[in-house]
């Protein structure tokens, strides 16, 4: 006689929450780290507001989303970085080719190209931009990848010298590998990845473009990042 693993039921329940196209679309949209209204998510997912509300209720009850209300508006966001990691890791298992839906028009094609070039992945940089930064940190021995992602002592000092504050009190790992779903290689996540992304946006090194997660490096960002990490400007465009 075997004893069922007590994790089986909650795992199946979690998988069931994600295994719906509308809910999956909401989770992917919320990877931008921002709070969305129910109406915004309904339009994004292409469903009625009443239908979307039911899906959001399940995601909130399942612990994948948190919600807050401001007046008549209901905002939702991913519950925490662990949920973002789960969604991104699952998305990375879906190859860009194969069953991927081809862009229906020039607008979708342009948006897809922008996302591949540079985007936020919850709270850190991804796409070719995220990979370029990760490779530069590794080449300068500020980040190690041989035994898992880890900042070196020189790397910690680099963040301090660049004015990028690292939250040492966080329960999150200082550096973590996150598989990039467009580049199929890991980029920097964790406390260091989040701090770098936040600083890049606050300092104007990068700006958000469009209504999704795409970002682009500004002229100021090209100059500063090139000085700090030796990345050629063409690799940041």
Backbone angles phi, psi at 142, to 5 degrees: -95, -20
Q: Which two tokens stand for residue 19?
A: 């295994």
Q: For position 69, what pLDDT does the model report? A: 83
Give this prediction's pTM: 0.76
Q: For position 108, what pLDDT does the model report? A: 46
> With 0-12 CB in 10 A as exposed, 13-18 as middle and 19+ as buried, what is 62?
middle
Kindly give the confidence (pLDDT) of every residue in the chain, 237 residues in length, as a single tens digit, with 9 standing for 90 and above.
566 788 898 899 999 999 999 999 999 989 888 889 989 999 989 999 899 999 999 999 999 999 988 887 789 999 988 898 899 888 877 755 544 445 454 454 445 588 888 999 889 999 999 999 999 999 999 999 988 899 999 999 999 999 999 998 888 899 999 888 888 889 999 999 999 999 999 999 999 987 678 899 999 999 999 999 999 888 887
Q: How far apart are CA 30 and CA 122, in angstroms?
A: 8
- Determine how β-strand 206-208 pairs with β-strand 215-217: antiparallel
181 sits in the region (left: phi over 0; alpha: psi -120 to 50; else beta) called alpha
Q: For position 121, what pLDDT does the model report? A: 87
Q: Which two tokens stand for residue 107?
A: 């607008």
Q: How far is CA 16 from the centre of its chain?
A: 22
Q: For position 112, what pLDDT does the model report? A: 58
Q: Give the mean pLDDT of the chain.
A: 87
Q: How far apart are CA 25 and CA 9, in angstroms?
A: 24
Q: For position 154, what pLDDT does the model report? A: 97
In a 13 Å sphere around the CA of 43, the CA atoms on its Cβ side amount to 6
């Amino acid at each position: 006689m075997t004893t069922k693993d007590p994790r089986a039921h909650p795992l199946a329940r979690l998988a069931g929450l994600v295994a719906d196209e509308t809910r999956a679309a909401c989770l992917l949209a919320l990877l931008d780290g921002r709070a969305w209204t129910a109406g915004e998510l309904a339009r994004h997912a292409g469903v009625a507001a009443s239908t979307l509300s039911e899906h959001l209720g399940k995601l909130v009850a399942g612990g994948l989303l948190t919600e807050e209300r401001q007046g008549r508006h209901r905002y939702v966001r991913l519950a925490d970085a662990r949920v973002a990691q789960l969604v991104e890791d699952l998305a990375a298992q879906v190859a860009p080719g194969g069953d991927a839906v081809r862009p229906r028009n020039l607008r979708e094609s342009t948006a897809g190209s922008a996302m591949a070039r540079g985007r936020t992945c919850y709270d850190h940089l991804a796409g070719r931009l995220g990979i370029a930064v990760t490779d530069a940190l590794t080449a300068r021995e500020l980040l190690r990848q041989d035994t898992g992602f880890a900042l070196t002592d020189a790397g910690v000092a680099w963040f301090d010298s660049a004015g990028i504050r690292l939250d040492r009190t966080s329960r999150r790992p200082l550096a973590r590998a996150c598989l990039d779903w467009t580049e199929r290689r890991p980029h920097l996540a964790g406390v260091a990845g989040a701090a770098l992304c936040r600083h890049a946006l606050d300092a104007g090194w990068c700006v958000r473009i469009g209504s999704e997660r795409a970002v682009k490096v500004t002229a100021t960002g090209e100059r500063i990042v090139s000085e700090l990490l030796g990345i050629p400007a063409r690799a940041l465009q």
